[in-house]
Amino acid sequence: HAMDRKVGEVLLYYCYCEVKDPEKLCAWQKALCQHLHLTGKVRVASEGINGTVGGSKVATNLYIEVMLSQPLFKDILCQDDFKSSAGGAHCFPDLRVGVFKEIVPMGIDPKIVSYKETGIHLSPQEFHREVEQYLSQGSQGQGDTILLDCRNFYESKIGHFQGCLAPDIRKFSYFPSYIDENLELFKDKRVLMYCTGGIRCERGSAYLRSKAVCREVYQLKGGIHKYLEEFPDGFYRGKLFVFDDRYAICSNEDIVSACRYCGTLWDQYKLCSSQHCRQLVLTCPSCRNKGLTACCPVCQEKELKVTSRASGQTLKEECECTRRRPRVPIERLLQRMLNAGKD
């Protein structure tokens, strides 16, 4: 595996543009990836394309070249729009290219909230300066700025900007209701928002702006990915969660999260050991050795009953605990109830 990692890379990119024939673009994209032996996930829609692919350096370089010369993206996409990290084809189980309604699943019709209404894009340097200023204000009363993480709780849990507000959401499609439920919070504020590669901010900032309560909405261009290239030891602490078999990439040595069983510092996710469950679990080596490998007691029980997994088949079926799992993670709810009890 160590050899593999040096050899190839994983690319992350998106491009918002008008796509007249998504099916055709999808077929072309699929053929291109197959030809270059790339694995990964690509979403195509009438509003553009969003992808993350892995392969050899030669293949990913060729891929970028072809993408930049594709007439559809010619004047919109540029070299800098591709974020790269060490990896390869082994980071994804297969290649999936499909046509969807949205290139990032916010669950709101692109015709209603369009990427064309986005916030003001800040370069990593500009964003860094803004965060620096925001942090220097300390906790003097209610500052006029909010640093908003647009990602899911399991992403922000293992890495985030210092002093950020991280919504307790399990999916980006819960982001709009999070905004709706917390509108008061954003009233007359300058909002600095960020996500992994910038794409969620494109729609998230448009949604927030459509509410017309903020003074100003800014977003980090290129996301945490580009920020870490410039500031590996900046205000982003911990790991960067990625949606492939690596789970996270590392830019500094900080560990900002804990083992769910014993509370020791730990930030390496593994899938819950119950084969029906798709939850990610933070459980440290010593707890794993004790057999604590599941996301919850239900799954731990279930796992003991289930014998060896069918040949390489991963089942997407969810366990009961997933269906019962609230939009907001239960630990936070408990914490809130405890805090409320203290007042």
- Give the integer Cα–Cα distance in Å for 123 and 111: 27
3-state SS string for the chain: CHHHHHHEEEEEEEEECCCCCHHHHHHHHHHHHHHCCCEEEEEEECCEEEEEEEEEHHHHHHHHHHHHHCCCCCCCCCHHHCEEEEECHHHCCCEEEEECCCCCCCCCCCCCCCHHHCCEEECHHHHHHHHHHHHHCCCCCCCCEEEEECCCHHHHCCEEECCCECCCCCCHHHHHHHHHHCHHHHCCCEEEEECCCCHHHHHHHHHHHHCCCCCEEEEECCHHHHHHHHCCCCCEEEEEECCCCCCEEECCCCCCCECCCCCCECCCEEECCCCCCCCEEECCHHHHHCCCCCCCHHHHHHHHHCCCCCCCCCCCCCCHHHHHCCCCCHHHHHHHHHHHHHC
Tokens of 279: 């939850």
β-pair partners for 5: none
C-alpha distances in Å from residue 128, one per residue of 68, 224, 277: 29, 11, 38
- Give the integer Cα–Cα distance in Å for 33 and 55: 9
- 8 Å CB contact between 52 and 40: yes
Would residue 195 show up in a list of annotated catalytic residues for this protein? yes
Selecting among 164, 195, 277, 287, the annotated active-site residue is 195
Burial class (CB in 10 A: 0-12, 13-18, 19+), 305: exposed
Report the catalytic residues.
Answer: 195
